[in-house]
């Protein structure tokens, strides 16, 4: 489903300056409803319309007074992205390029497993972290997503497929802990019984290792799974792959992970992207096992997807299995991530980047045609 391309904005346009009710947790929505002179009980009704029934227009809220709906139409809005591009893999994975109200685009992926459907959501437009194997960071960060925009990714995937989403991973474009407050509101909204009520134990949040954010998250004692993108067991290798390691080296990151486990009682998962000739040797496996010894942590080995402009290539399957066996022999619980969507633009940020290139080429062609016509 191709949508007309809009010029993306770094700042919200006039339309988006209206109060977006999708962004509000139930307590915040209750406060707002009371502030406009309405009884508090309406907040729960409206919250259900937005997050459970997933209304995309105020006129659908048929049990609300017409005067209130008119007031909403004038002063408020809902987060309703449009599907700009859609790709479906042979394995059932669906990748969306969603266009937001301000013209910016993000990616969302629905993955089908035997236990249910998982949606991988983006939390920012672009990313500032600069990981060198990731397509989503190549153009930098444009802006944060609001809590409602993140939730709307899930609602869009549910409506498009007609299937319920049971699990969420915050592993799309952006660093969730770099958009901390909006992500926390999103988690509140998505786990609310008056919404789609996805339990925290069905949610995974991935971070590249922002230590202050890990400590703030620990204080909340949420029962989600924290996945830390480790990717290398020594500072030299990790810094070459992930510039964030210069600010938060392993000497700071690993103790923060241990504090998180102690505070929350939740086991951490370490993501480890297997890069040919960089971090896939037996020596690296030994260093990794030594680094996380005693944590009882889980290591998720990820054969990387190829990304244009990246110097890295994936380790072959046999070497990934050898690496896994070495870790297990050293007492580390390690699994290999099942590769989904390999026949589509599977790498995070790749579809958005391809679309931006096409739009730029189309703009250049139009400019050239106009110049020639003059």
Residue 200: both structure tokens together? 């925290």
Q: What radius of gyration do the chain's Cα atoms show?
A: 22
CA dist 187 and 224 (Å) reads: 10
Q: How many residues does the chain have?
A: 374
Tokens encoding 307: 């990304």
Residues acting as catalytic residues: 107, 348
Q: How many angstroms separate the first and last alpha carbons of the chain?
A: 34
DSSP string for residues in 292-358: TTTS--EEEEEEPPP-TT-S--BPPHHHHHHHHHHHHHTT-EEEEPPP--TTS--STTHHHHHHHHH
274 C-beta neighbours (distance < 10 Å), count: 24
CA distances 87 to 1, 136, 341, 362, Å, are: 10, 17, 9, 21
The pair of structure tokens assigned to 367 is 């400019």
List of residues 6+ apart from 212 with CB closer than 8 A: none
Quick one: tokens of 326? 């070495």
Segments in 163-249 forming alpha helices (H): 180-190, 211-220, 235-241, 244-247
326, 282 Cβ separation under 8 angstroms:
yes
154's CB contacts (< 8 A; 6+ apart) are: 108, 119, 121, 165, 168, 190, 196
Q: Could you tell me the two tokens for 238?
A: 């990790």
Q: Please tell me the distance from the alpha carbon of residue 208 to that of residue 178, in angstroms, as a whole number.
A: 10
């Amino acid at each position: 489903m191709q949508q007309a391309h809009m010029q993306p904005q770094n700042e919200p346009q006039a339309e988006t300056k209206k109060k977006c009710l999708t962004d509000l947790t139930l307590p915040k929505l209750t406060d707002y409803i009371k502030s406009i002179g309405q009884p508090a009980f309406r907040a729960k009704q409206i919250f259900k319309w937005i997050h459970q029934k997933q209304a995309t227009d105020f006129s659908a809220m048929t049990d609300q007074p017409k005067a209130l709906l008119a007031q909403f139409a004038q002063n408020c809005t809902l987060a309703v992205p449009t599907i700009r591009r859609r790709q479906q893999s042979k394995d059932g994975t669906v990748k969306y390029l969603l266009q937001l109200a301000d013209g910016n685009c993000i990616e969302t992926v629905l993955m089908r497993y035997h236990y249910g459907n998982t949606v991988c959501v983006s939390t920012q437009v672009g990313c500032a972290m600069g990981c060198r194997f990731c397509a989503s960071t190549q153009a930098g960060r444009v802006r944060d997503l609001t809590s409602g925009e993140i939730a709307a990714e899930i609602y869009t995937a549910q409506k498009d497929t007609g299937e319920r989403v049971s699990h969420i991973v915050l592993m799309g474009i952006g660093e969730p802990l770099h958009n901390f407050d909006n992500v926390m509101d999103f988690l509140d909204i998505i786990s609310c019984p008056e919404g789609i009520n996805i339990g925290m134990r069905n949610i995974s949040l991935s971070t590249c290792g922002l230590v202050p954010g890990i400590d703030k998250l620990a204080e909340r004692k949420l029962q989600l799974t924290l996945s830390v993108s480790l990717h290398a067991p020594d500072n030299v290798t990790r810094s070459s792959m992930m510039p964030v390691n210069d600010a938060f080296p392993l000497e700071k990151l690993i103790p923060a992970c241990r504090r998180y486990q102690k505070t929350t009682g939740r086991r951490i998962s370490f993501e480890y992207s297997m890069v040919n000739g960089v971090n896939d040797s037996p020596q690296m496996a030994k260093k990794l096992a030594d680094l996380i010894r005693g944590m009882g942590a889980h290591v998720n080995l990820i054969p990387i997807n190829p990304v244009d402009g990246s110097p890295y290539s994936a380790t072959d399957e046999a070497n990934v299995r050898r690496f896994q066996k070495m870790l297990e022999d050293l007492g580390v619980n390690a699994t290999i991530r099942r590769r989904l969507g390999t026949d589509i633009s599977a790498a995070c940020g790749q579809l958005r980047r391809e679309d931006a290139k096409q739009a730029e080429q189309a703009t250049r062609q139009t400019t050239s045609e106009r110049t020639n016509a003059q």
